[in-house]
Amino acid sequence: MDNSNQFSARAYRGSIVIRICILILLLNIAGCAKMKDMLTFTGEAEDTATLTVNNLVTKGMDDYAVGKYFTALEYFQEILDRYPFAPEATLAELKAADCNFFLENYAEALVLYEAFEEKHPTNEAMPYVIYQKAMCNYKQIDRIDRDVSGAEKAVQLFSQLIRAYPNSPYTSEAKARIKAARQFIANHEFFVVDFYIRRNKISEAETRLKYILATYPDAEIAPQAKELLARIQAGNPPKQTLSSWLPKVALPDWAKFSSSEEEAPENPAAKD
């Protein structure tokens, strides 16, 4: 056999081997797919796209009730994606905000509560929505040496709730949290006074102390502020830091300002 015939024979045998390998690979892939189907148990990795809106509501509320907020949020979001105009979408909007809140995604929850308020201003859940907006800010309160805008916004929203819905089930707790937040803000102001004293800015410290006493006369820090102001006005300001005068840096426990130990009730079902 000449060289050309030998080369053709080898090429032919090589092509057969390649075809056999491809066939084996395809059979393996098909076998794996069948095996995967055989090992997949019913109910595992359920496809939410096949669920009706009532099924999604039921599953979302079931998960929400036991604290499975992440999966509950997925069901509520599925409702909003697939059934945005269904009556159940209103509930899904509110519960999606709640899920984010309990997952400590306070900024995201606040955006969703605000969107709900704008879209459903007469909804019966509005007292709860305003309360939750306030709580989103309240939960983001940090230390007295940091920004206090969260505490200020919380006070504003709790006050709005009390004015608009004085008989709501959230009013008592809102009043107590206002007192705690105002206490925190007053402590922050005294911290600023300490900052001025340490830098020998006595005039600025005096102005700040007058502000504390005028704005937060009932604050626990008020007696120290009054004493310090008297010393400054007598020409005898402290020569060192006021660390021993400073309150704890944490937000006070709101419960000590409450006349009731009851927790705010669960939010109502959202209905237009």
Kindly state whether residue 9 falls inside one of the protein's structural domains.
no
Q: Does 234 lie in the same domain as 154?
A: yes
Distance (Å) of CA 239 to CA 21, 222, 228, 236: 88, 21, 12, 9
**Of 50-54, 77-81, 195-199, which range is least confident?**
50-54
Q: What is the pLDDT of residues 151-188, one digit of tens each?
A: 999 999 999 999 999 999 999 999 999 999 999 999 99
Mean pLDDT of the 236-248 span: 73
Q: Is 268 within a domain? A: no
Domain match, 207 and 249 both: yes
Is 184 found in the same domain as 77? no
Q: What percent of the chain has pLDDT over 90?
A: 62
Q: What is the pLDDT of residue 265?
A: 53
User: What b/e readout covers 51-60, taking b as 16+ CB neighbours within 10 angstroms?
Assistant: bebeebbebb
Residues 151 and 209 reside in one and the same domain: yes
Q: Domain for residue 16, yes or no? A: no
The pLDDT of residue 29: 38
The distance of Cα 270 from the centroid of its chain, to the nearest Å, equals 20
pLDDT score, position 76: 97
Domain with 99, as residue range(s), is 47-103
Q: Are residues 131 and 171 in the same domain?
A: yes
Mean pLDDT in residue range 185-209: 93
Q: What is the pLDDT of residue 35?
A: 37
Does one domain contain both 89 and 214?
no
Number of folded domains that form the chain? 2
Whole-model pTM: value is: 0.75
Q: Is residue 21 part of a domain?
A: no
The answer to whether 72 and 60 are in contact (CB under 8 A) is: yes
> Residue 145: its pLDDT value, please?
80
Same domain, 158 and 70: no
What mean pLDDT do residues 113-133 have?
97
Residue 193 sits in a domain whose CATH number is 1.25.40.10
**Predicted local confidence at residue 259, as pLDDT:** 67
- What's the pLDDT tens digit per position in 14-70? 444 445 444 444 444 344 444 334 333 334 445 666 789 999 999 999 999 999 999
